[in-house]
Amino acid sequence: MNRLKEIREDRDLFQKDIAKFLNIDQSNYSKYELEKINIPLAILKKLADFYNTSIDYLLYRTDERKPYPKSIVKEK
């Protein structure tokens, strides 16, 4: 099963709910879940933030659901 679908269904959400949050058509979101089109990085970032996880988790690069700690960038 696609992880996007899995995590969405775990929260009892519909594709139309996520598409509305992302401000895209439900049909495009469906294509992301079906892996018919690549997900733009900006969308992946929004999804990771929405689900409070990492992009790596969404892309099956890790099974750790917990997001990475935020990095602190010091300005000079």
pLDDT of residue 47: 97
pLDDT of residue 69: 75
Pick the CATH number of 3-58 from 1.10.10.10, 3.20.20.450, 3.40.980.10, 1.10.260.40: 1.10.260.40
Q: Measured in whole angstroms, how far is the alpha carbon of residue 17 from the centre of its chain?
A: 13
Q: What is the C-alpha separation between 56 and 65, in angstroms, rounded?
A: 9
Q: What is the C-alpha separation between 54 and 71, in angstroms, rounded?
A: 13
Query: Would you write out the chain's pLDDT as a tens digit for each of its 76 residues?
Result: 589 999 999 999 999 999 999 999 999 999 999 999 999 999 999 999 999 999 999 999 998 888 877 766 666 5
CB-count burial class (<10 Å; 0-12, 13-18, 19+) for 8: buried
pLDDT of residue 70: 73
- Domain ranges across the chain: 3-58
Helix intervals (H) in the chain: 3-10, 15-22, 26-33, 41-51, 55-58
